[in-house]
Structure 1
Amino acid sequence: LRTLMRRDPEGPIEVPARVTVYRTIVHDEERCLGCGACARNCPADAVEARPPRKDDASVCAGEAGA
């Protein structure tokens, strides 16, 4: 992760699923609520929260019985 922070990325960077860094927001998919608080509170405006994709089966699972 340190080497990723030393260069200016040309777009979103891939971050391992679970990264432990002191005093840094860490993406943990199991705990993520999708609220976007991380993006709103990032002082460097380096976090982008995106809504789930429409083709994600977990999003549509509740609509299957409707």
Structure 2
Amino acid sequence: MIFDEDKPKKPAGHEVGCDLSALSSDELQARIMLLQAEIERIEAERIRKETGKLAADNFFKPKV
């Protein structure tokens, strides 16, 4: 008897540099969408941090 736990599971994400030759066109498109969403998430965090740094720099800027 084979249980679901015994079946190999596909990785949920994408590993940079992994072999793509065994993936279908639909699987490649899904990975592209996954990576685009991750880029947007990272970009939003970068902007949030830059905004916070700019606010701190302005707050602590010496008054002349």
Larger radius of gyration: 2
Hey, which of these two has a bigger chunk of helix by percent?
2
Q: Which has the bigger relative contact order, CA under 8 A and spacing at least 6?
A: 2
TM-score scaled by length of structure 2 = 0.31
